[in-house]
């Protein structure tokens, strides 16, 4: 029987120095200015009163793509909202399905599947935001400011592909959701479990040195915080983002629709020592700020200059701490909704495929292609 363990051990030893590059806490000479900057923008958690309980809701989704034996793609997406309203548990679901021909370009497939799921999530959130109690909290999964610029139209696709208006439909739901949040004093909190971009570090660098962070010094935000915050509970200096993420084509097309929305405040938080860092995005109104996307031009704005900023950030941190369940449960509601909505492989392949075949009335089996059958 093939034995790969010894070979792997040898290769790890051979590449040890290179493999440790993104993991070690010490900084190379060219990394030290950035490491010092990260430490300056990392703050210990203030005392938090996590006893306040407000009506809270969480929304998440899941999706699956399967390759069929005829070359077509089968998409299934589902979304779930859970929470409690007037001491009554809320649970509502959405599901969608499409089959696209095999001639559809591969890069289109992943974006289409993601938008199917994303549209279901935001439509659930916007619908229930109109009905949930005033001053409720809505938790979303993902980086809010990172998702909005991706709602540009599909390009160069055959007109008979269904749901080509998914980006616009999703954007419309976002606009409704933000309107409900403003009218009903809802706190919208988007939580991402990692960040592979150098978004915050670029802003901190620009603010201190008055120039762009050199490309050769760029390191993902999550890596910086993993290496240079000593695994201590705390939070990073919040940043107000506006036009910055929409400056490239085709993202620029979206800006005309969102420029009057609140700017997005973003920061990272570690709610307990040695836990993972989370990225938190909220509309600026949740921190008592009135700036819109249009107001914040290319250079984002760093907060915490005023005592009121720290007080509002502390209130937001208290909401996050109130739903914190430890390293395995970073947010109780999002953890619960994720476990229920996650589309598992056996459910998709053993239940959903059979159901779809039955409802469609197919005489033969709805078969996955040979490569899919090997792994599923």
Whether the upstream peptide bond of residue 250 has omega within 30° of 0, thus cis, is: yes
pLDDT, average across residues 186-212: 92
Residue 162 main-chain phi, psi, to 5 deg: -70, 150
User: Is the per-residue pLDDT at 100 higher than 70?
Assistant: yes
pLDDT band at residue 372 using 50, 70 and 90 as cut-offs: confident
Angle at 247 between CA 267 and CA 140, to 5 degrees: 40
77-80, long-range: CB < 8 A, 24+ apart: 77/113, 77/116, 77/117, 77/120, 78/117, 78/120, 78/341, 78/343, 79/117, 79/120, 79/121, 79/123, 79/124, 79/341, 80/124, 80/337, 80/340, 80/341
Residue 242: the pLDDT is 95
Residue 270: the pLDDT is 97
Residue 299: the pLDDT is 72
**What gap in Å lies between CA 92 and CA 95, rounded to an integer?**
11
pLDDT digits (tens, 9 = 90+) for 113-165: 999 999 999 999 999 999 999 999 999 999 999 999 999 999 877 777 888 99
pLDDT band at residue 375 using 50, 70 and 90 as cut-offs: low
Mean pLDDT over all residues of the chain? 91
The percentage of residues in the chain with a pLDDT greater than 70, rounded to a whole number, is 98
pLDDT, average across residues 192-198: 88
User: Is the per-residue pLDDT at 216 higher than 90?
Assistant: no
Strand-pairing partners, residue 158, are: none
Can you read off the two tokens belonging to residue 150?
A: 């991706």
User: Is the per-residue pLDDT at 376 higher than 80?
Assistant: no
User: Is the per-residue pLDDT at 52 higher than 90?
Assistant: no
pLDDT digits (tens, 9 = 90+) for 31-48: 999 999 999 999 999 998
The percentage of residues in the chain with a pLDDT greater than 90, rounded to a whole number, is 72
pLDDT, average across residues 102-116: 91
Residue 364: the pLDDT is 72
Residue 86: the pLDDT is 65
């Amino acid at each position: 029987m093939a034995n790969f363990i010894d070979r792997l051990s040898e290769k790890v030893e051979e590449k040890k120095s290179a493999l440790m590059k993104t993991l070690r806490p010490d900084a190379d000479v060219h990394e030290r200015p950035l490491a010092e900057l990260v430490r300056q923008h990392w703050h210990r958690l203030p005392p938090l009163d996590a006893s306040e309980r407000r009506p809270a809701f969480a929304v998440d989704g899941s999706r699956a793509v399967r390759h069929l034996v005829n070359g077509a793609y089968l998409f299934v997406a589902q979304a779930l909202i859970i929470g409690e309203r007037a001491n009554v548990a809320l649970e509502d679901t959405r599901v969608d399905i499409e089959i696209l021909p095999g001639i559809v370009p591969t890069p289109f497939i992943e974006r289409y599947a993601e938008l199917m799921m994303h549209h279901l999530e935001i439509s659930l959130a916007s619908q229930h935001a109109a009905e949930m109690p005033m001053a409720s909290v809505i938790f979303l999964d993902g980086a809010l400011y990172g998702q909005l610029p991706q709602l540009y139209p599909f390009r160069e696709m055959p007109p008979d592909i269904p749901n080509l208006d998914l980006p616009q439909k999703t954007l419309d739901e976002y606009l409704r959701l933000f309107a409900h949040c403003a009218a009903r004093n809802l706190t919208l909190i988007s939580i991402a479990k990692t960040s592979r971009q150098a978004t915050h570090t670029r802003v901190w660098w620009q603010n201190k040195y008055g120039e762009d962070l050199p490309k050769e010094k760029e390191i993902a935000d999550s890596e910086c915080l993993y290496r240079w915050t000593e695994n201590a509970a705390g939070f990073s200096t919040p940043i107000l983002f506006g036009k910055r993420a929409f400056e490239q084509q085709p993202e620029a097309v979206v800006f005309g629709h969102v420029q009057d929305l609140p700017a997005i405040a973003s920061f990272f938080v570690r709610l307990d020592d040695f836990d993972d860092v989370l990225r938190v995005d909220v509309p600026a109104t949740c921190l008592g700020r009135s700036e819109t996307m249009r107001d914040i031009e290319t250079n984002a704005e760093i907060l915490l200059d005023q005592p009121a900023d720290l007080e509002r950030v502390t209130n937001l941190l208290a909401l996050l701490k109130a739903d914190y369940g430890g390293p395995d449960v970073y947010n109780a509601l999002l953890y619960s909704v994720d476990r229920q909505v996650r589309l598992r492989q056996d459910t998709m392949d053993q239940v959903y495929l059979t159901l779809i075949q039955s409802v469609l009335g197919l005489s033969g089996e709805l078969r996955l292609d040979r490569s899919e059958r090997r792994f599923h």
